[in-house]
Amino acid sequence: MYGRDLAGEDAADAVRPKVNRAFRALRKGNLICRMSFSCCMGCACAELDPMVKARKARGAVYFHKQDDSSFRKGHDLYIRYASAGKDDLKGWKAIGDEVKAALEAEGLVVEWDSDVNMAICVKTKESYRAGEQKAPTSRPVGRKPKLRLTDPAEGRE
């Protein structure tokens, strides 16, 4: 049904596979990527640190379970990232740029202003709508666009 408020679960379900594909692409750049990983940022960092070291990865990209549950309720999804070189700000920014580009390549609407202290925000509802506009089958039916002002032929209806 068209016109109802976008349910969080619907938006999350539509956005999630795209995030998954973006993560898959990012793994090729030697980044450890985990969806709904660990409970919070502190635990996630503690768990990712040895993984990054063991695999000699450049860094890690993830969102944790608390991010996930908020995302499932329809809020924006925050993607977190870290560079293996903890004080290497250039490395952090490079990873952030890659994450943003990979998410955008999947058609997601992303907000991040290159501030390495900030998580990368996937605008859940905007991303959902962006996907909807590309799919003609999900457009509202039964209502013609208003062409009367520019197309006199339409005025005879």
**Which residues of the chain form contacts with Zn ion (CB under 5 A)?**
39-40, 43
The count of C-alpha atoms lying within 13 angstroms of the C-alpha of 139, restricted to the half-sphere facing its C-beta, is: 10
**What minimum distance in Å lies between the beta carbon of 126 and Zn ion?**
29
The residues, any chain, with a CB within 8 Å of residue 32's CB and separated by 6 or more, are 48, 51, 52, 55, 57, 59, 60, 61, 62
Nearer to Zn ion by Cβ, of 43 and 105: the residue is 43
Residue 145 half-sphere exposure, CB side, CA atoms within 13 Å?
Answer: 4
Residue of minimal CB distance from Zn ion? 43
* Nearest approach, Cβ of residue 81 and Zn ion (Å): 18
Q: How far is the CB of 43 from Zn ion (least distance, A)?
A: 3
Complex with Zn ion: residue 17 or 42, whichever CB lies closer: 42
Choose between 44 and 109: whose C-beta lies nearer to Zn ion.
Answer: 44
